[in-house]
Amino acid sequence: MSQQDAATLNQRFGIAGQLEFTQETNGLVVARIANTHALCAIALQGAHLMTFQPTHEQPLIWLSPVARLVPGKSLRGGVPVCWPWFGTHASESNFPAHGFARTVLWQVAESAALPDGSTRITFELPQSAMPAMQWPHACRVRNVVTVGKMLGMELVTENVGDAAFEIGEALHTYFAISDVDKVRITGLEGAEYLDKVDDWQRKTQAGSISIASEVDRLYVNTETECVIEDAGLKRRIRIAKRGSRSTVVWNPWIEKSVKMGDFGSDTGYRSMVCVESANAAENVVNIAPGAAHALHVVYSMERL
Ligand code: TA6
């Protein structure tokens, strides 16, 4: 395994004035990007994007005020990478929810200063970090993050083995909002969804989505762009995806968020909403030997 301490990473992948690596006291490493377009921080554990704030704008991504990087534990907020399954494992209830990718150490594979002033960094999940009992498949997994005025993320899975396998996945993105009763989500009108709050009943979305109680919906067979209209912050967040046929919309509301205990306060849930670009349920992806699949999303914002 190549050296992945901050000093070595700064030598190999640091970009003066744009990208540097820092090390927490517990040894966990964070990539910190500051370019003309935005600020961004990404933990190597889980290739977990923690923050993204365009220059002169409010943060786009929500991170719990009590989120702390702890070895082997996912963070509440940011963009957890759910892979190689979404939600609970189909047959093994003792396997970790949302897969193991978000709690293991990824490696830095590449970095680049792009001509438009954006910064690109590629994280790779080494096969050695994949628990063979949970995932006995030979594959190459990368998370390619491009930090500019917009935020681009591409989760690429390559099958380098000799047998096909199936993955579920999601970029489980937490968005920062003014207040839950001041936003609505468009783009999923008419889409079918599985309603986790109502025993996974299959329903059809009528009109835009507003949130006035716990919402936990897995929209299937939809590739549409979603928009979070935030009247409070007077902005619109666009979520434009490719290679994703599922979208999850989640807000835990008060009871579940207090039970989870890591939203920072009883009202922490009011400042976030998850709109997750995914492939889950009937949209899981079968990858043949030698083939690759990419889930790609671009997050952008515009003032109203
Ligand atoms: O994507 C929505 C969801 O599946 C919810 O049901 C809730 O479990 C959420 O993910 C957070 O899961 P986590 O394992 O990060 O606490």
Query: In degrees rounded to 5, what are phi and psi of residue 211?
Result: -125, 115
Cα of 88 from ligand 1 centre, angstroms? 9
Q: What is the residue with the minimal CA distance to atom 2 of ligand 1?
A: 250
Instruction: Count the neighbouring beta carbons within 10 Å of the beta carbon of residue 206.
Output: 8
- Whole-angstrom distance, CA of residue 161 vs CA of residue 86: 22
Question: What value does the mean pLDDT take over residues 288-298?
Answer: 98
237-250 residue pLDDT tens: 999 999 999 999 99
Ligand 1 nearest-atom number relative to CA 250: 2
> Quick one: CA torsion of 212, 78, 141, 225, rounded to 10 degrees?
50
Percentage of the chain beyond pLDDT 90 is 98
pLDDT at residue number 2: 60
User: Is 110 among the residues known to form the active site?
Assistant: no
CA of 214 to the centre of ligand 1 (A): 12
Compute the CA torsion angle 231, 233, 236, 240 (nearest 10 deg).
-130
- pTM equals 0.98
The number of the ligand 1 atom at minimal distance from the alpha carbon of 172 is 1
- Name 50's Cβ contacts closer than 8 Å, sequence gap at least 6: 30, 41, 42, 43, 61, 63, 67, 75, 77, 78
So what's the architecture of 6-303 in CATH? Distorted Sandwich (2.70)
Q: Which residues pair with 165 in a beta bridge?
A: 287
Cα distance between residue 169 and residue 117, in whole Å:
30
Among the listed residues 276, 282, 293, 302, the single catalytic one is: 276
Mean pLDDT of 263-292: 98
Under 8 Å between Cβ of 44 and 123? yes
pLDDT range class, residue 1, cuts 50, 70, 90 = very low
- Of ligand 1's listed atoms, the one at least distance from the Cα of 256 is 7
List pLDDT tens digits, range 187-212: 999 999 999 999 999 999 999 999 99
* Residues 248, 300: Cα–Cα separation, whole Å: 18
pLDDT in tens, 135-181: 999 999 999 999 999 999 999 999 999 999 999 999 999 999 999 99
Question: How is the chain split into domains, by residue range?
Answer: 6-303
Q: Of residues 37, 98, 172, 229, which has the active-site annotation?
A: 172
Identify which of 169, 216, 256 to mutate to test ligand 1's pocket (most ligand atoms within 8 A of the CB). 216
pLDDT of residue 3: 82
Active site residue 56: no
How confident is the model over 84-126, as pLDDT tens digits? Answer: 999 999 999 999 999 999 999 999 999 999 999 999 999 999 9
pLDDT in tens, 21-49: 999 999 999 999 999 999 999 999 999 99
